[in-house]
A and B are shown apart, each in its own frame.
Chain A
Amino acid sequence: MPNKPFAITLKPGTSLANLTGTWRTERPVYLNRLPPCNNACPAGENIQGWLFHAESGDYEQAWRVLVENNPLPAVMGRVCYHPCEGACNRGQLDESVGINSVERFLGDEAIKQGWKFAAPATSTGKRVLVVGAGPSGLSAAYHLARAGHQVEIHEAGSQAGGMMRFGIPKYRLPREVLDAEIARILEMGVTLRLNTRVDLIEQSMKGFDAAFLAVGAHIAKRAFIPAGDAAHIVDAVSVLRSMEGEDQPMLGRRVVVYGGGNTAIDVARTAKRLGATDAVIVYRRTREKMPAHDFEVEEALQEGVMIKWLSTIKQAEEGNLTVEKMVLDEKGVPQPTGEFETIEADSLVLALGQDVDLSLLDGVSELKISNGTVQVSANMMTGHPGIFAGGDMVPSERTVTVAIGHGKRAARNIDAWLHGTSCEPVAKHEIATFDKLNPWYYSDADKTVRPMLDIIRRQTSFDEVQGGLNETNALFEARRCLSCGNCFECDNCYGVCPDNAVIKLGAGKGFQFNYDYCKGCGLCVAECPCGAIKMVPEQT
C-alpha cells in the first residue's frame, strides 16, 4: 500500500454509498387535497387555483383559470353569497380570505382590460337549444360553446340576464357589469333570441340535438289575505321586474313587505330608494330564523328599513293593515297570540317565494314533476332523453351561484350525451381540513374590508352599495390565501429535510422525493404549511 498515507488502508468514500432509505417504515408522498373553498363552491370554481395566480399579480391568468368554471366573475363578485368564505380555513386563524372581493376585482379588471374568451377550438356540428338567458342558461351556453357545440338561447324577456336583471336590484348589481359579461359570452358565437318564448319545448326543439331548460321561477306565490277593494297589493317579482322598465312602480310613502327572504329585503330597500318614508318588513318568525342573509338584513336596517318580527298580516284595507303578533312554540313554529294591531300602509308587497311556469313541458313524456319543480338525475337530465334542466326550475337552493353550477354540470353532461358517452364525476380529493395545515408559517394579515357607499346615497339612489378593491388591496387579499392542500412552492420540504432527500425541480415544477435516502422522519409533512404531503406506510 505505498500510495496511501500512514495507517490508512481504505480509499476515502462518500456517504452516498449508504442508502439510508432502507430505514424507512413510512414514506412521504406529495398530494393535492381539496381546499374547503373549492369544495363549498356551488359553481365548482377552482378558487385556490385562481388565487395562486392572483398572488403573484398575474391577474389575467387568474381570471382565465377562474372562467374555466364560471363565465360571470364580475357578477359573482357582487351577488354570490360566498359559501367559500364560510368554509375558508383562514377563518380559524383570523378572518376568512375575501374571495368574493378578489373575484369581483378580477371580473372588473377583465372588463376594464377587455379580456375575451378564447374561441372554441373545435366544432362538433351539434346544435343545442338553451331556454332562458338567466345565469343557468348563460353558463350552460358558455360551456357548450367552449366544447364546440352550436348554441341558441331562446329568451322570453326583452333582455338577457333573467333574475340577475329582473330580480337583483341595481344597487347590488350595476347593469353595465351584467351587460359586459353577457356580451362576452355571446361573442363566442352563441345566438341569443330575445322575446322568443318557448311555449312547447317539443316543438321548439325541432332541429336541435339537445335542449337545456332554465326558465327560472318567476310566478309569485300568493297568500290568502282578506282585503278590501281599495287595498293595494302587489307581488315582489313584479315590483323588481318593473324597476327595469320605463315606469317605476307606484308603492306610496308607506310600504309594507310581507316575507323574510332575500327578495323581501331587496323590495324593501328598493322602496326606500324610491322615496318611501316607511319601508316595513313583516315576518312571522325571528331574525335568527329568517332565510335572508344576515348581512343583507343588516344593510337594510342601516338604510332605515324597519322589520316587524313575529307578525302575520290578517287583513288589508286601503291605507292600513291588521297584523297579528305571533310567538314561537317549542318547535320554533310561529303560533297566533290573538293580539292585533293596525299599521299604516299605502301598499302591501308580497315576497313569499316563487313558483315555476312549467307549461312549456306540456305533452313531454317520461317527466317527473314534484312540488312544482322538474326532477332531474345526477347528470341534470330530465326523464325525457335529451332534455336537460337546471337553475330555479329544478329542486335546489335558488341562488345565482347554484344556477351557474347547474349550467356547467348540464353542459358537461349534454356534451357527453351528444358524444354517446356518459360523464362520470371525478372522484374528489380528500378535503384539506384545518388540522392538515401548519398555520405557523402564514403571516398575520387582517381581512380587507370593502368600502361601503355613504348612507344618504344608499337611501336615495340606486348607486352600487358595496365598493370594490383596488389593485394593491386585491393583491394583499389574494395573498392571505393559505393554498390549503396544494403546493405553493414555499421550499419548506426542500429546506427542512435533514437528509437532502427532497429534489427541487424548479419553479412551477414542484418537488420530488429521493427515496434512496429519505429516512421517513416526516419533518417535511409536519412543516408543510398547506398540507400537500402525507405519510403512507411503506410497502413490505
Chain B
Amino acid sequence: MSFQPVKFYQTGTYTVGNRLLAAVDHSVQADPLRSNSINSGHRACQGCGEALGARYAIDAAMAESHGQLIAVNATGCLEVFSTPYPESSWQVPWIHSLFGNAPAVATGVAAAMKVKGKTDVRIVAQGGDGSTTDIGFGCLSGMFERNDDVLYICYDNEAYMNTGVQRSSATPPAARTATTMPVGAEPGNAFGQGKNLPEIAMAHNIPYVATATVADLRDLEYKVRKAMGIRGARYIHLFVPCPLGWGTAPHDTILMARLAKESGTFPVFEAEYGEVTGVLKIRRQIPVEDYLKPQKRFAHLFGKHARPDMVARIQAIADRNIRKYGLLEQGANSNAE
C-alpha cells in the first residue's frame, strides 16, 4: 500500500504539520526536535531545493534509524555548500571522497560496519544527478548488482549546477544550460533517448526504488522510512528544483516541483523488486506549458520565436508518463479528489 494522503482535517497531510491529526500521524519535519541533519549556515543559494530535500530525506532516515546513521556524499553542490573546509553543516557522521565513487565508498562503510558487528548502524549515500547518472553510474550499478546494504538518494536538479549549469544526462529536452545553448533548429538540450535512472535501478531488481519531490513531504518521508526498514540496495530519486540553474524565483522552488508532478513531467511512484507498487496520483492536472513557462531555461520555447512544436513533444513525454504509470485517478476530471 503506497502513501495514502489524509484528505480531510482542513489541510490533511498536504501541509508539513496539522494540529488536528493524531500525534502518530505527524511528520518528522513538524517535530521541534527533528535532527536538522544539515544545519543553518550552509552556503546553498536562496530557496535551494537540494538543501531542503537533503534535510527532509536525512532527517527521516535519522528518525527511522534512531540516529544510527552514516552519510556518504559524492562531489556536487550538496557537498560544496555544506562543507567548506573546515566548516560543516552536517549533524550526522559524514564522509566525502570523490565525484564518482560515493556508491563504492558506501559499500565499504557498510562492509566495515558489518565486520564490526554494528548492525544497527545504517548507511545512506547521496549525490546529485551528475554524480549519480553520469560520473558515478558504474559504481552505483555495481552497488545495486551486489545488493549492498545502502540507501542511495539522488537529488536531481537536472544539471551540473555547482560548476555553472552544464548539461547532465538528467537534463530534460529543450532545456538551456551552459553547454546546450538555445540556438539552431532545436534550441536547448537535444531530445535524446533519456536516461531514466529509477527505471534502470528497477532493472537491477533491487528491493526498493522510489521517486519523490520536495513538494510532497509526507510521501517523501514515507518512502525514506520504508526504505530504511529494508536491507539491501535501495534507491530514491528525489526531484529538487534549482532556482539558479532553472531561472526561477527562489520562492517558487516547491511550486516548480509541484508543477512537475501535476503535469506528469516527473512521475512519482515506488517499486519493489522491479515492479511498480504504487503511484502518487496527479491531484490537479495541468499542461506542461504551465510548468515550463516560469523557467528561464525554457524561455526560448515561448515569446517571439515560440516553439509550440517542441512544447508539444514535451507534453507527449508527460502524457506517456501519465499513461505508463497511471498517474490519473480512475474517471478523473479537473476537480477530482
Chain A residues packing against B (C-beta within 8 Å): 10-20, 23, 55-56, 94, 440-445, 476, 479-481, 483, 488-492, 494-501, 504, 506-507, 514, 516-517, 519-523, 525-527, 529
Contacts and interface: CB of A to CB of B under 8 A. Distances in A.
Given A500-B55, A529-B11, 10 more contacts: A56-B19, A480-B10, A483-B10, A489-B17, A491-B16, A495-B29, A498-B49, A517-B40, A521-B243, A523-B52
A443 B17 contact: no
Contact of B51 (A480, A498, A507, A514): A498
B53 to A, nearest CB: 9
Given A444-B335, A444-B337, A526-B252, A488 B41 contact: no
B294 to A, nearest CB: 12
A12 B255 CA distance: 37
A521 B87 contact: no
A16 B39 contact: yes
B15 A491 contact: yes
15 contacts: A12-B88, A55-B10, A441-B14, A443-B8, A443-B11, A443-B337, A488-B10, A491-B15, A491-B27, A492-B17, A494-B29, A521-B46, A526-B254, A527-B254, A529-B11
A498 B20 contact: no
A39 B19 CA distance: 26
B254 A18 contact: no
A18 B87 contact: yes
A495 B217 contact: yes
Nearest to A496: B254
A429 B43 CA distance: 37
Contacts of A527: 254
Interface residues of B, number: 49
Contact of B40 (A15, A94, A442): A15
Contacts of B250: 521-523
Nearest to B14: A441
A15 B51 contact: no
B18 interface: yes
Contact of A521 (B43, B251, B335): B251
Interface centre among A55, A440, A488 (most CB of B within 10 A): A440
Interface centre among B30, B41, B43, B335 (most CB of A within 10 A): B41
B47 A15 contact: no
Interface centre among A504, A516, A527 (most CB of B within 10 A): A527
A14 B41 contact: yes
Interface in B227-256: 243, 249-255
A18 B19 contact: no
Nearest to A524: B251
A517 B7 CA distance: 34
A56 B21 CA distance: 10
B10 A523 contact: no
B36 interface: yes
Interface in B1-55: 7-12, 14-20, 27, 29-30, 32, 36, 39-44, 46-49, 51-52, 55
